[in-house]
Chain A
Amino acid sequence: KAGVTQTPRYLIKTRGQQVTLSCSPISGHRSVSWYQQTPGQGLQFLFEYFSETQRNKGNFPGRFSGRQFSNSRSEMNVSTLELGDSALYLCASSTGQGAILVETQYFGPGTRLLVL
């Protein structure tokens, strides 16, 4: 099976702009989680989607949003970019089914966002 793919891999934006990142999960996986990784804060959970529904959201401002499509592909959007949004954004997919809240997550290569 193909792994998790993320596009674009690199992105440079300026403050105040908005950005959309895309994630395609492993075929058959219905759960997609997003994380932000920075040197200072480490890996922080943004949100999780399952069957087009957001089931969980981390402690990020409303400028960070996401959605999931019927084919399980997911996008996240950051509006009004700030310098502090510079980070590696990782998405991860899993089956998302069953009583276990988090099984093994398979990560994509990430999108590195630089805000100038």
Chain B
Amino acid sequence: SQQGEEDPQALSIQEGENATMNCSYKTSINNLQWYRQNSGRGLVHLILIRSNEREKHSGRLRVTLDTSKKSSSLLITASRAADTASYFCATGPLAGGTSYGKLTFGQGTILTVHP
């Protein structure tokens, strides 16, 4: 079963605009990760934020995490046509359990950036 929901399911913007995607999850986590997938190919890791972090930046990406609301957001600034892809959030379980190697993914947001 999926850990959470992503919102919106699809997002269409123009080049140069910012894109914001949201992710909610259900259980306590150790970390939350964002991945990009181009047209049914492999997933590319974008950023990992730990449960004790509130915000993280990487290039044009900004990720926030609110563990009290069990939610995260991914902001892509100054988007480009090459950013067109599906974006997934995935949660890593708390340490001390037995869920080794298991990321739990959301359903994803399909982002289309028009030139």
Contact = CB atoms under 8 A, between A and B. Distances in A.
Given A56-B98, A100-B30, 4 more contacts: A55-B101, A58-B102, A90-B42, A90-B43
A19 interface: no
A65 B100 CA distance: 17
Contact of A102 (B2, B88, B101): B101
Interface in A53-92: 55-56, 58, 88, 90, 92
Contacts of B41: 109-110
A112 interface: yes
Contacts of A113: none
Contacts, number: 91
Q: Is the interface of B mostly helix, strand, loop or mixed?
A: loop
B104 interface: yes
The contact size tier of chain B is 20 to 34
Contact of B43 (A31, A45, A94, A107): A107
A45 B98 CA distance: 14
Contacts of A94: 101
